[in-house]
Amino acid sequence: MRFRYSAFTVMTPDLDLEGAASTLRSLGYDGVEWRVTEVSRAPPGRVDFHRGNRATVDASRVLEEAPRVKALSDRHGLAVPALGTYLRPGDLEAIERSMEAARILGCPQIRVQVPKYDGQRGYNEVFREAVEAYASVEDLARRKGVRVNLEIHHGTVCPSASAAHRFLSHFDSGQVGAIFDPGNMVHEGRENWQLGLELLGPYLSHVHVKNGLWEVASEEGDGTRRWRPRWCGLREGQVHWGEVLEALARVGYEGWLSFEDFSEGDTMTKLRQNLAYMKSLEERL
């Protein structure tokens, strides 16, 4: 088997759209997962993954921009496996626009986030409201022919594969799926990788590739340690990506692996080294 590799342009903030596409093509990537969100007209104080990111398609103009982004992707021989939006289930008009843009791009799926969970409101209440809101998103997905994915993410009602499956089981797997994100699950929601993948079954739509680890944040007077998570390089963290690839192979996953590396370092170096590393792990399967 052979996985296909893309990069989510949240990790290329210093490159514009053209620069991101040309760089990915030159390094041997198969596709690009475009970041889609509102672009501020004010110059950013600094450029990072989430502020001033130049490799971003403006969500307010996504339909107008879609033909240009399609031409750009095609010119560099890059498929568009997913659009990484930051939309929430109640943003139905914006979700519909992003779905229309995805169709123009030949892209089969977009991300729509699930609500955060911080304990201020009861989980069951937040969960129930989220399921009700996502039902309208599922209807849109069915009408537009574009799958919608939630991302397994710490700090939300779906931090693990099990929690995501509980949510997704309310919906048609042909319309609604999950982005499997082991790096996020280092922060919260870690389970046996293969167990989670088997549980997700037909809901498994996409995979994000990054890594994280836990470090001591402080030590109290009695010696009790407080820990905190942080992002790190693919080789350094608590996700053993060779084990994840083996689990993906066992469940027959034939989709995309999309890099979303939030670690420090030069963008070009990370893109080059990450792809080489993952391909070397794949060769060992």
Confidence bin at 267 (pLDDT 50/70/90): very high
Q: What pLDDT score does 40 carry? A: 79
Q: Can you give the residue range of the structural domain that contains 200?
A: 4-283
CA separation for the pair 58, 91 (Å, rounded): 15
Torsion of the alpha carbons at 146, 17, 74 and 78, rounded to the nearest 10: -70
1-57: pLDDT as tens digits: 689 999 999 999 999 999 999 999 999 999 999 999 999 776 667 789 999 999 999
pLDDT digits (tens, 9 = 90+) for 111-168: 999 999 999 999 999 999 999 999 999 999 999 999 999 999 999 999 999 999 999 9
Q: Provide the number of structural domains found in the chain.
A: 1
The yes-or-no verdict on residue 110 having pLDDT over 80 is: yes
Residues 70, 81: Cα–Cα separation, whole Å: 12
Phi and psi at residue 226, in whole multiples of 5°?
Answer: -105, 140
Kindly report the CATH number assigned to the domain that includes residue 258.
3.20.20.150
| Spatial CB neighbours of 13, under 8 Å, sequence gap ≥ 6 | 47, 48, 49, 52, 53, 54, 55, 267
181-210 pLDDT, tens digit each: 999 999 999 999 999 999 999 999 999 999
Of 77, 70, 71, whose CA–CA distance to 101 is shortest? 70
Confidence (pLDDT) at 47: 86
Asked whether the beta carbons of 112 and 149 are under 8 A apart, the reply is: yes
Q: Residue 106 has what pLDDT?
A: 98
What pTM did the predictor assign? 0.97
